[in-house]
């Protein structure tokens, strides 16, 4: 009987934990041989999942060559890689084209996500340290 009680208490505790439900996702469109994509993966890739931005917009990567079979609609063709698409409910909301380094990436992606998901600068990476 104590085991059942423990399971019930644990299940009740889980119900009290607030889970963040992403409002959107950040889709990185990349291609093989893209030096800027490789640089992004080296400089930002390991950090991104640990940031408040990733809570509002988790990252998914898609190859440019398979973009036509993606499960979302884009507003115009992707020309540059990497291109970061903010996607919600199967539709592109915004995009960031190219990667010029982490000091440019963070403010731009934070603003893009904030404009469409409600992430505030106080929660963001560049204002809190990066």
1 located within any domain = no
| CA separation for the pair 105, 39 (Å, rounded) | 12
14 located within any domain = no
pLDDT of residue 21: 55
Please count the structural domains in the chain: 1
Tokens of 53: 């931005």
| CA separation for the pair 109, 54 (Å, rounded) | 10
Tokens of 65: 């060559």
85 located within any domain = yes
Which CATH number covers residue 111? Answer: 3.40.30.10
10 located within any domain = no
| CA separation for the pair 45, 59 (Å, rounded) | 9
Indicate the pTM of the whole model: 0.77
Per-block average pLDDT, block size 10, for the chain (130 residues)?
A: 40 42 86 98 97 93 94 95 96 97 96 83 48
52 located within any domain = yes
Tokens of 72: 């979302």
pLDDT of residue 117: 82
For the chain, what's the residue count?
A: 130
Structural domain of residue 32, as residue ranges? 23-128
Q: What is the dihedral of CA 82, 83, 86, 91, to 10 degrees?
A: -130
5 located within any domain = no
């Amino acid at each position: 009987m104590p085991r059942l009680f423990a399971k019930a208490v644990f299940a009740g505790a889980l119900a009290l934990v607030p889970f963040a439900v992403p409002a959107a996702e950040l889709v990185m469109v990349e291609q093989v041989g893209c030096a800027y994509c490789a640089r992004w993966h080296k400089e930002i890739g390991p950090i991104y999942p640990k940031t408040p931005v990733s809570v509002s917009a988790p990252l998914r990567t898609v190859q440019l060559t398979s973009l036509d079979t993606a499960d979302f609609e884009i507003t115009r063709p992707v020309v540059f890689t990497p291109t970061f698409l903010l996607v919600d409910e199967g539709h592109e909301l915004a995009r960031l084209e190219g990667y010029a380094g982490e000091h440019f990436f963070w403010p731009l992606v934070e603003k893009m996500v904030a404009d469409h998901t409600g992430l505030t600068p106080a929660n963001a990476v560049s204002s809190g340290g990066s």
